[in-house]
Structure 1
Amino acid sequence: MTTHAPAPYPPSWYAASVAPQPPQPPLDGDLDADVCILGAGYVGLSAALALAEAGYRVVVLEAERIGWGASGRNGGQVIFGWGCSEATLEAQLGREDARRMFDWSLESIRLIHERRERYGIDCDWRDGHCHVAIKPRQVRALHEWRDDLQAHYDYPLDWLDRDALQERLPSPRYLGGLYDGRSGHLHPLKYAFGLARAALERGVRICEGTRVTGIEHGARPVLKTALGNVRCDIAVLAGNALVKGVAPELDRRIMPVGTYIGATPPLGDLAQRLLPTDMAVADINWALDYFRLASDGRLLFGGRASYSNLEPPNLRWVMARRMHRVFPHLADVGFEHLWGGTIDISLNRAPHWGRIGQRNVYFAQGFSGHGVNVSGLAGTLIAEAVRGQSERLDVFEHIRHRDFPGGRAFRTPLLVAAMAWYKLRDALW
């Protein structure tokens, strides 16, 4: 059989700051399972863990290593809500189901805490997140959002005017911020490793270096690889933006987007002056900046999304310029680590979760920048549905999704053009 050596973890501060994990052996021949999951990221590992605890025989097929994709490279910010606005969900589902989805996003945060405590996952959790405004129109937008969340979702947030924000974020760039003490940040790769360890201890078989090349639909789906096939009662597709060709009907509903993060050297006492309360921060530009402190006092600074599947030119210089615009007193500080990865967005930025084939192939994609939080919920809801309790997953299937326009040949150029307009709007208005 043809073998595939998994790629090493891409260089990042995350990969450099954790102990190497023992590799899991690849698939070796054909297997039979109750559930077979494509992808050893947060969705796949959460589903595997919940199903194994319910007594299912679970196999996870991972093309590279555990947490190799977005689950191990992301910004680490755990934020309430979804990638789309509450208004988008209200327009499609009505306020009652939109409210249920909002509450489930809060449940997602609680799930992270429950799993950290139950499975002893040390992932450097810190409380606190702030959305910040750069321009007066964004101040108004944040006030309107706060009022709507308070009135219709019973979710109070703290408004920080410019002076109050300066005490927590002494940067000249921001006019105010909306603070949430229940959101926060974590070390994403440590969290992925912790979920995987818990799953393995409960009998889940994880096959690294095992790329799924196709799926055969039927009463018992078959996930095909070059190393063998896995026949199962239930299949789960949890590879998001990194899976292409296995389910073309899903590929058309998401767009892969590159995003980048830099890590400074440890900043010593200066770190506490940058973010005295250790909160995570994100602005509300379309092409946003987001940042937080690492456990060793580095600044982790993210942004500069790429919609063209190409790394932006002069990336290190561009990222440093963005950081210095937020923190001018870091003008002499650069990045010790700089890395990128791919997230998946849906056209309306709403989550795209459901079932295909004979309703026995489950999927979750379209996290649109909120995957650290709600991906664990996706795995939980899939596990619920496999066990016959599909009421919550059914709500997500009622969200209407459209293909990205332009087909394979033109959808990326069209999106690049659209994003150029939004970036111009951020700059001028």
Structure 2
Amino acid sequence: MKWQSPIAPGLSWYQATLAERPTYPQLDGSTSADVIIVGGGFTGLQAAYQLAADGVDVVLVDAARFGDGASGRNGGQLGTGQHWWPEEMEHKLGKARSLAFFRMAEDAKSHLLDFARAQKIDIDFTPGQLSVAHKRNMEYTYRHHAEALAERYDYPHLSFMSKQETAERLGSSHYYCGLRDIGTGHIHPLKLLAGTAKAAAKAGARLYEMTKALNIDRADGRIAVETERGTITADRALIACNGYIQEHLEPKTAAKIMPIRSFIAATTRLPKALKILPGCESVDDSRFVVRYFRKAPTGELLFGGREVYSADDPKNVSKHLHRQIVQVYPQLADIDITHAWGGSVGITLPRRPLVDEIMPGVTSIGGFSGHGVMLSNYCGKLYADEIAGRSQDLGLYRDLEIPAFPGGERLRKPLLFLALTWFALRDLI
């Protein structure tokens, strides 16, 4: 029987193409550890692996199965840098900090690929990414971005594409120009997630699925995480729930990380004669409500695009995504969709990751705003590195000011929906 996630809609193509997805037990009774981690996505599992490899006694719990959240259901694109382009971050944070964040993202990229090789996890890595412009007046910005990365950030892997080259590489004339990045690529995220869980368990981490954390508190110098089937006490705690954070568990984080729904559809295998994405790069476009797509190694088109800024799941996801596919690729009007699924992506107001000490000994990490494949994994590693005294790089994120979304608990989501809907309408102008 196919597993249907209780926290995210639809059966994913990733799940359908994963040869093995081990299950892990529920916590049964109370226990203690050096570190308790809440959240079994990339951040939590990578932290659990690194901590256990260092000899730290670590317990990790997740309310669903590992991979049911965004880590196992996302677009699989690694990207380059942070959410904001480096030249944009220079204006906000200064050149030195912008350069430090760019180098961190490059380290994150290298770490992900090195970790997968070292653990012998076949993540279907495919090189190349195209970032394409849906408006004619973006040509100067795209040209300048490629020049800035080469000249000021020592990143020579980005090149500007004319409208003709963009059309040839996409197999579509829908976009006006673009950038080609040969220094990154895309992966099968659920394979990485499942492999990371196996590595963490082998290293000695105690992993529990279907174990919901109900409350977290500090008493007598220890952290206590209450679950439905027992209480875990520890010296430290990591909250790594990202877009699935609950107000009752940790209200400070929930005020700063907002979940948005994003959806992906998988088609049947594309006819080779159509020459769609002949270089097999992944694609993201310049819309505020971004469209992102790529061709799987086996030939299916994986197309994401319809975001919903609320917790509600829209009906007829396949229908809406098929319409967007045909806008980009009219030649696929008769293509069949085999899978459609969604999940919650965690965003912050400034679209920068959140690393926050919510109480002594308790760290909360999340809000990667669409750049979590690399950064969430790496932040898990950096959390373990900080405990071991190897690195203080996590402090780069901790020093960022991440305000709460306005409106309080009651009005926060309606206000976000209105604001982001307005931005989405600007995509049409």
Interval containing the TM-score (normalised by the shorter chain): over 0.9
Helix, strand or coil for the counterpart of 1:210?
Answer: coil
Q: Which position in structure 1 is the counterpart of 2:42?
A: 42
Name 2:350's counterpart in structure 1: 348
Change (3 A) 1:6 1:23: farther
Residues 155-197 of structure 1: per-residue CA shift (max 9 Å, x gap)? 2311111222233212010122111112111111111001011
Cα distance change, pair 92–231 in 1 and its aligned pair in 2 (3 A)? farther
**Contact kept in structure 1, 2:69 and 2:244, CA below 8 Å:** yes
Q: Any idea what SS the aligned residue of 1:424 has?
A: helix
Match of 2:424 in 1: 423
Q: For residues 369 and 392 of structure 2, what CA distance do their matches in structure 1 show?
A: 23
Q: Distance in 2 between the 1:65 and 1:338 partners?
A: 19
Query: Which residue identity is paired with 1:158?
Result: S
**Residues 245 and 253, structure 2, Cα contact 8 Å, conserved in 1:** no
Q: Is the 8 A contact 1:210 1:227 kept in 2?
A: yes
Which of 253, 269, 275 aligns to 2:272? It is: 269
Say whether the 8 Å CA contact 1:215–1:246 is kept in structure 2.
Answer: yes
Q: CA deviation at 1:92?
A: 5.1
Instruction: Identify the match of residue 336 of structure 1 among 335, 338, 357.
Output: 338
The counterpart of 1:247, out of the listed 250, 264, 267, is 250
What's the secondary structure of 1:144's corresponding residue?
helix
Amino acid at match of 1:150: A
1:221-300 alignment runs, 5 A limit: 221-244=223-246, 245-270=248-273, 273-300=275-302
Does the CA-based 8 Å contact 1:405-1:411 persist in structure 2? yes
Instruction: Give a deviation string over 1:134-164, Cα, whole Å, max 9, x none.
Output: 2122222212322332333222311111222
Instruction: Write the distance in 1 (CA, Å) between the matches of 2:303 and 2:32.
Output: 44
Matches within 5 A, 1:73-92: 73-86=73-86, 89-91=89-91
CA contact under 8 A between 2:31 and 2:231: conserved in structure 1?
Answer: yes
Provide the rounded CA distance (Å) in 2 between the counterparts of 1:389 and 1:8: 36
* Residue 97 of structure 1: how far off its partner (Å): 1.9
Q: What amino acid is the match of 1:340?
A: G
Residue aligned with 1:122, SS:
coil
Q: Percent identity?
A: 37
Match of 2:179 in 1: 178
8 Å CA contact 1:234, 1:386 repeated in 2: no
CA-atom RMSD, angstroms? 1.8
Tell me, what secondary structure is at the counterpart of 2:22?
coil
8 A contact 1:213–1:224 mirrored in 2: yes
- AA aligned opposite 1:77: Q
Q: Please name the residue that 2:387 is paired with.
A: 386
For residues 91 and 133 of structure 2, the distance between their equivalents in structure 1, rounded to whole angstroms, comes to: 26
CA distance in 1, matches of 2:230, 2:384: 25
What are the ranges of 5 or more consecutive residues in structure 1 without an aligned counterpart?
A: none
In 2, Cα distance between the equivalents of 1:289 and 1:278? Answer: 17
1:404 corresponds in structure 2 to 405
Q: Which amino acid aligns with 1:420?
A: T
**CA distance in 2: counterparts of 1:88 and 1:277, whole angstroms:** 29
- Residues 312-338 of structure 1, C-alpha deviations (whole Å, 9 max, x = no match): 344322211110011111011131111
Q: Secondary structure at the match of 1:47?
A: helix
CA displacement 1:3-25 (0-9 Å, x = unmatched): xx984985111111113423211
Q: TM-score by structure 2 length? A: 0.94
Whole-angstrom CA distance in 1 between matches of 2:398 and 2:190: 30
Is contact 1:67-1:193 (8 Å) kept?
yes
Distance in 2 between the 1:92 and 1:166 partners?
34
- Counterparts of 1:43-58 in structure 2, within 5 Å, are 43-58=43-58
Matched residue type, 1:262: A
Q: Once the 2 structures are TM-superposed, how far is the Cα of residue 213 of structure 1 from its aligned partner?
A: 0.6
Answer whether contact 2:22 2:194 (CA < 8 A) is retained: no
The answer (yes or no) to whether the contact 2:87–2:148 under 8 Å persists in 1 is no
Moved more, 90-99 or 178-187: 90-99
User: Deviation digits for residues 330-379 of structure 1, max 9, x if unmatched?
Assistant: 01113111111100000000111132211x11221110000011111110
Which moves more between the two structures, 334-343 or 262-271? Answer: 262-271
Q: CA deviation at 1:308?
A: 2.4
- Cα deviation, residue 105, structure 1: 0.4
Is the CA contact 2:71–2:373 (under 8 Å) kept in the aligned structure 1?
yes
Q: Which residue of 2 aligns with 1:163?
A: 164
Name the residue aligned to 2:61.
61
Paired with 1:348 and 1:84, the residues of 2 have a C-alpha distance of 9
**Is 2:29 the partner of 1:29?**
yes
Unaligned runs of 5+ in 2: none
What corresponds to 1:188 in structure 2? 189
Letter of the 2:364 partner, please give it.
F
Structure 2 CA distance for partners of 1:61 and 1:6, relative to 1, 3 Å: farther
> Which residue identity does 1:333 align to in structure 2?
I
> Contact 1:72/1:188 (CA < 8 Å) preserved in 2?
yes
Tell me what 1:373 maps to. 374
Letter aligned with residue 146 of structure 1: A
Aligned equivalents of 2:284 and 2:167: distance in 1?
15
Q: What CA distance in whole angstroms lies between the structure 2 residues aligned with 1:310 and 1:68?
A: 17
- Describe the superposition over 1:376-421 as per-residue Cα deviations: whole angstroms up to 9, x where unpaired: 1110111111123452122211111111011122122211221222
1:108-147 matches, cutoff 5 A: 108-147=108-147
Q: One-letter code of the match for 1:413?
A: P
TM-score by length of 1: 0.94
Aligned length: 422
